Amino acid sequence: MKYKRVLVKLSGEALSGDGKNGILDSKALFNTASALVDMAKAGAQVCVVIGAGNICRGSLASQNKAIDRVTGDHMGMLGTVINSFAMRDTVKSLGVPSVVLSAVKMEQFTETYEPNLADSYLNKRYVVIFGGGTGKPFFTTDTCATLRAIETKCDAILIAKNGVDGIYSDDPRVNKNATMYKSIKCSEIISKNLKVMDLTAVEMLINQDIDVRVFNMSDSENFKKVISGEDIGTTIMKG
């Protein structure tokens, strides 16, 4: 394998399917969990950060003036924990151990995140799911994913997109002439202001030896292809 320890960044929307079955769609959840399990069974150490867009978006406070920004972010953190629990149990049902580590203390429900604890579980071949974001308001789950990948010494961050093959010069759904980058540096992402992930997260990766692989998750086989080194999607490199 090209990557032995990876962090998978998933959007909350990816778990809701077409949204017709509520915040969590059983088929979307099963398909995504199966891809994580396949990577684990192939020998990779897998950790995961899931957004909460299917439950509570970060823009909630701007949409509803009665809700304070910090309150809205706290609601989002709790949403990530709900998604994490759903993913943990689905992974376990497929025969691979899994655990949720929360940045927010909630002893009645799960253990609190700490880098050495996460490392221990990863070495025991658990799929480790990081819930609760960074535990602080004003930070996105992109930033959380980057921070956790650095702290746990991951080889790569896998950004699984719904229906998008990689990073484009423009939105391919709007501009048919948009071109896809096969590789791009962090500094180019920032200078071009490409909307692939939070720019704070990109800045954190400029000097890190961590590849970021952006690919289409519609084909669940793509997860294994990426960790085996196949050149699919877009690779974001340091510099």
| Beta strands across the sheet bearing 234-237 | 111-112, 98-102, 127-131, 45-50, 5-10, 156-161, 211-216, 234-237, 183-185
Which residues are CB-neighbours of 107 under 8 A, at least 6 positions away? Answer: none
> pLDDT for 178-236, tens place per residue?
899 999 999 999 999 998 889 999 999 999 999 999 999 989 899 999 999 999 999 99
CATH number for 181? 3.40.1160.10
**Which domain range does residue 186 map to?**
5-237
> pLDDT for 156-170, tens place per residue?
999 998 888 999 998
Its pTM stands at 0.94
The domain tally of the chain equals 1
pLDDT at 58: 57
Percent of the chain with pLDDT over 70: 96
pLDDT at 171: 84
Per residue in 82-116, is it b (16+ CB within 10 Å) or e — as a string? bbbbbbbebbbebebebbbbbbbeeeeebeebeee
- Given a cut of 90, whether residue 134 has pLDDT beyond it is yes
> pLDDT for 26-83, tens place per residue?
999 999 999 999 999 999 999 999 999 888 765 555 566 788 888 888 999 999 999 9
